[in-house]
């Protein structure tokens, strides 16, 4: 529903939800379940945080664009990748750094 946040947020489409489900199913074993949410632009968001300044946030769009921002104390990483039925290498490297 348009405006679900009391403002002018876009609804999350069924295509975005379906892509988000596939994303979750392709996560490597050992990655804990993320916090999942909806963004005002209609994307699905995922977050993994192991400390206040240690974690990664990922947003996934209906067309498969993954935007991410990670923090490792004073170090930061961010970027945009395409999700094509497998987790992109930069995100895999972030997950390894976060979870070993």
Taking only the tens place, the pLDDT of each residue in 48-90 is 999 999 999 999 999 999 999 999 999 999 999 999 999 999 9
In this predicted structure, the answer to whether residue 10 has a pLDDT above a threshold of 90 is no
Q: What is the pLDDT of residue 4?
A: 47
Per-residue CA distances from 52 to 23, 28, 86 (Å): 25, 23, 28
In this predicted structure, the answer to whether residue 7 has a pLDDT above a threshold of 90 is no
In this predicted structure, the answer to whether residue 1 has a pLDDT above a threshold of 60 is no
Which position has the higher pLDDT, 44 or 5?
44
Which position has the higher pLDDT, 5 or 22?
22
State both tokens at 65.
């664009």
Q: What is the pTM of this model?
A: 0.89
CA angle in degrees (0–180, nearest 5) for 80-87-40: 50
Residue extents of the structural domains in the chain: 14-99
């Amino acid at each position: 529903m348009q405006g679900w946040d009391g403002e002018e947020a876009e609804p999350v489409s069924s295509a975005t939800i379906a892509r988000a489900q596939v994303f979750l199913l392709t996560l490597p074993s050992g990655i804990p379940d993320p916090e999942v949410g909806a963004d005002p632009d209609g994307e699905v968001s995922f977050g993994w945080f192991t400390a206040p300044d240690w974690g990664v946030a990922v947003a996934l769009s209906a067309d498969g664009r993954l935007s991410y921002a990670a923090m490792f104390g004073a170090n930061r990483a961010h970027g945009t990748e395409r999700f094509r039925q497998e987790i992109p290498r930069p995100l895999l490297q972030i997950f390894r750094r976060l979870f070993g």
